[in-house]
Amino acid sequence: MTQAAAIPLREVKRVTILGATGSVGRNTLDLIVRNRERFHVEALTAYRDCDGLIALAREIRPQLAVIGDASLYQQLSDGLAGTGVACAAGAEAIVAAAERPVDWIMAAIVGAAGLAATIAGVKQGAQIAIANKECLVCAGEYLTALADDRGAELLPVDSEHNAIFQVFDQQRPETVEQIILTASGGPFRTLSRAQMRDVTPKQAVAHPNWDMGAKISVDSATCMNKGLELIEAFHLFPVTANQIDILIHPQSVVHSLVSYIDGSVLAQMGSPDMRTPIAYTLSWPERMVAPVARLNLAEIAQLTFEAPDHDRFPALRLARNALAQGGGAPAILNAANEVAVAGFLGGQIGFLTIGDIVAATLENREMAEWLRPLDSVQEIIAADEQARRVARALVQHAE
């Protein structure tokens, strides 16, 4: 089959990639390298993968490369000597990189650590490709209001939200009856709670369909990833929480669906490759060729769906309850989950204890004052930090 010609973009886009060495960042750069004439890379950032950042910067030649761990500045500087690429290090330098004027920013720093840089990008009014769902979970109301005020566009990169973005009628949202997030169910979809008790981090990060980082893979295994996406969807689209449903779809071919008041259900489908949603945001409002496997439904032959099991995967219930509770609950949920997942990956707690830690943190009396509406980024950060302290203590004392 002859591949379609690329649709030309109107002009060269200036781009910055926050979290360049992760899977989303590398997939973004793969698309950029294939279309060098369309993009000018302003800045690349990473947190600790200095060798990875050096290699990418030497290939891409951005104006600036930033490593988040300040102790690695000299290594970065030495590695890029003679390239003409400027170097910087530290958390503030990552925020400064996000403040550099560009058209498009990939926000792919994992976890709440990406919040400050994402906010900086929104403030300059750029298109923000949101791959960091935790930003919207922790500060959804603040971030969307800021985007409206500064004229920034929030473009979802998660395959599920990107799918909804492609088929949601933004001009007539009142005609939407429901949005349906699909989930693969992760590697433990068919296991009982008893069988999940002794699973290992190696098993948990072995996602059946997607190539993702360790933290996101564990979130997929617990279904917390889908819980966080539920909260993210609430902030991205003009629907109520009751209009958002979740459906298990093991093949990861139907990435999400939108049902309308006339009974129509529109689905976005494709091979499970993150370069498709990344390409959609990178070339928005146009489309570009992506080097992904084309979907062959005859080969797949069968697509299956099932309702999620909230008893085996309580993270879904925890997330929906946090969204209903509002205030600081989603930020607390996210922070506790990040700590618990790190504890599991570090061998401190078992797989099932992740959900227990999150639930116990939300119920801890020290968090009561943070369940109210949070009025500023500073309060959101304070709630996040307090939740982490509580969750770490719970991890340390877990049996």
- Greatest alpha-carbon pair distance for the chain in Å reads 63
Contact, 21 vs 56, CB < 8 A?
A: yes
Contact, 15 vs 39, CB < 8 A?
A: yes
State which H helix or E strand residue 315 sits in.
Answer: helix 315-325
Q: HSE-up of 131 (CA within 13 Å, CB side)?
A: 29
The whole-number pLDDT of residue 210 equals: 60
The torsion angles phi and psi of 60, rounded to 5 degrees, stand at -85, -35
- The CA dihedral of 286, 61, 14, 158, to the nearest 10 degrees, is 50
A 10 A CB-CB count for 121 gives 29
Contact, 331 vs 241, CB < 8 A?
A: no
The whole-number pLDDT of residue 209 equals: 64
Whole-number Cα distances in Å, 68 to 85, 157, 257: 16, 23, 37
What whole-number distance in Å separates Cα of residue 228 and Cα of residue 225?
Answer: 5
The whole-number pLDDT of residue 152 equals: 96
Distance of CA 140 to the CA centre of its chain: 13
- 114's tokens: 């990406």
Distance of CA 78 to the CA centre of its chain: 32
What whole-number distance in Å separates Cα of residue 45 and Cα of residue 92?
Answer: 12
DSSP letter assigned to residue 36: G
Contact, 60 vs 41, CB < 8 A?
A: yes
Give the chain's domains with CATH numbers.
13-156 (3.40.50.720), 326-399 (1.10.1740.10)
DSSP letter assigned to residue 319: H
Residue 38, phi-psi category: left (phi > 0), alpha (psi -120 to 50), beta (remainder)? alpha
Write the single-letter amino acid at 17.
I
Q: HSE-up of 339 (CA within 13 Å, CB side)?
A: 26
What are the pLDDT tens digits along the chain (399 aa)?
233 344 444 589 999 999 999 999 999 999 999 999 999 999 999 999 999 999 999 999 999 999 999 999 999 999 999 999 999 999 999 999 999 999 999 999 987 788 999 999 999 999 999 998 888 999 999 999 999 999 999 999 999 999 999 999 999 999 999 999 999 998 999 999 999 999 999 999 886 666 667 888 899 999 999 999 999 999 999 999 999 999 999 999 999 999 999 999 999 999 999 999 999 999 999 999 999 999 999 999 999 999 999 999 999 999 999 999 999 999 999 999 999 999 999 999 999 999 999 999 999 999 999 999 988 889 999 999 999 999 999 999 986
Residue 145, C-beta contacts closer than 8 angstroms, at least 6 positions apart: none
